[in-house]
Amino acid sequence: MLLLACEPELPATDRPADDQAPQVLQPAPEEPLPPEASPPEASPPQPSPPTPAPTPPAPPPPVPAGRSWYVSTKGSDGGAGTLAAPLRTIGRAAALAKPGEVIRVLPGVYSEELVLESRGSGVAAITLRGEGSPRPTLVPKDKVRSAVIRVQGRWNLENLHIDVGGARMFAVLFDANANQSILSGSELHGGTSGAGVYVEGARDITLQNNTLHHFIKPGDDAHGVVVVGPSRNIVIRSNDIHHNSGDSIQCQAGTAPAESVLIEDNTLHDEGENGVDIKQCVRVTVRDNVISGFPNTAIRAAGSSAGEAVLIHASAREILIQGNSISRAGRGVSVLSSSTPVENVRIEGNHFRDIRNIPAGNGHGIRIAGAKNVKVTDNILENTASYGLMLAADGGVVTGLEVRNNFLRGGTQPLLLRLGAERFRPGLVQRENHYARGGVLKADGENFPGEQLTVSSPEKLEVWRQVLGVDQGATVLE
């Protein structure tokens, strides 16, 4: 029997809430600046060659050629499972299906909690597919399990509607026995546990073309997707994830770090906390996503997080943030220090705009507060409530920092760049950046009036270069 009599309500590792309280770092107070007209548009930067992405899972298998099992609300579990004599429950079909076969679920509402068991290693996937329009809806039956669907082994889930209905359950859980499984073309919503989809120690999992929304844990985190180590080779692509009380996507360690996670071409928006939260994970790529609307204070009171589009912290390593469109966030990208610093981060070719001072003390496009080997290249930053770039200015040491070919235009207050004191940025390489005329550059501890300089002319920019000994090739944007 696949439907077990009982199991704990939540797995022991159901702790997707942040293990580090959100930090709203307060920079030193700035003197208010008079509003100035926005500078004209600049030519877009030329992106540097892309960094290889993590190894994706194997491509989907060919269309299954095995027999089809039909399930209908008008069927009977004593039936033959044909279209003429369908089964009544998905659970019965799952018990009968063999590798390479397809379970075709006809429209209707199915009150079930499924455990899709492994058929052994190296076998073909079993496909569970919603048929017809509207697609079939799964709702929890007894609400005693941790998920509406728990995946073990190799299964493809396609074109399903999962309504958790306020139960403290995940919609889909891929556990440590799941491998080479796919969730695609489905809509999931309505849970009050810690996530919509929970990937816990699984390997080679693809989440593609799904909509995940309204997973809300009152006063706490409920994320769209949580990836927990030692998960490996996880692809999250072309999903629409929104209106959850936590993050769109969170990556965190379990018994070991999660590794090789690709987050690509998604629309992530209007969450109670952040867009993507990366901690204790290795080789994570966040590429070509549209990320906006954090924090959503209609879902979660301001203050539980800084509302970052992307947050990198807690000893994450080998992180690429590339080609994303980021807007309407408390911060664009934050790299925060911890006892073991973040290491080897590339932030390149992103477009930041309309970064807000919500909650107060934020409004930065890119904020690097402590790390090793960070490259910030080829980004466009405009209309930020505070500094477009806030680099090593929070008292944390950033070693191996490289800042090249970024285009910075201010907002109501034209704050473009703030550098921490020299001792916090050893080995800084800063070249060929482009600053809007009338914008403000600040270097802590340097001999400018008020430690800041207004870029009113190329000559003023030359003063900046001479005093700091960096930013050769920088230009003024007219």
Is the pTM higher than 0.75? The answer reads yes
Least confident of 8-17, 155-164, 320-329, 422-431: 8-17
pLDDT of residue 219 exceeding 90? no
pLDDT of residue 71 exceeding 80? yes
pLDDT of residue 175 exceeding 60? yes
Backbone conformation region of residue 132, classed left if phi is above 0, alpha if psi is from -120 to 50, else beta: left
Backbone conformation region of residue 91, classed left if phi is above 0, alpha if psi is from -120 to 50, else beta: alpha
d(CA 472, CA 464): 10
DSSP 3-state of 91? helix
Residue count of the chain: 478
- Identify which of 233, 179, 183, 175 has the alpha carbon closest to the alpha carbon of residue 199: 175
Q: Which of the four pLDDT bands, split at 50, 70 and 90, describes residue 447?
A: confident
d(CA 222, CA 137): 22
Question: In this predicted structure, what is the pLDDT of residue 66?
Answer: 86
Superfamily of segment(s) 109-477: Single-stranded right-handed beta-helix, Pectin lyase-like (2.160.20.10)
What are the C-alpha distances in Å from 255 to residues 92, 152, 176, 311, 314? 34, 19, 11, 22, 15
Please, how many CA atoms are within 13 Å of residue 334, restricted to the half-sphere of its CB? 30
Q: What is the pLDDT of residues 301-318, one digit of tens each?
A: 877 788 999 999 999 999
Q: Pairing state of beta strands 114-116 and 147-153?
A: parallel
What are the C-alpha distances in Å from 407 to residues 38, 329, 341? 14, 19, 27
pLDDT of residue 272 exceeding 60? yes
Average pLDDT for the chain:
88
| 338: number of Cβ within 10 Å | 17
Is the distance from CB of 256 to CB of 234 less than 8 angstroms?
Answer: no
Q: What is the pLDDT of residues 120-134, one digit of tens each?
A: 999 999 999 999 999
d(CA 288, CA 439): 28
d(CA 228, CA 254): 5
pLDDT of residue 136 exceeding 80? yes
Phi and psi, residue 286, nearest 5°: -120, 105
What six digits make up the tokens of 41? 């548009």
In the chain, domain spans: 109-477
d(CA 306, CA 124): 44
Q: What is the pLDDT of residues 37-66, one digit of tens each?
A: 333 344 444 444 444 455 555 555 455 568
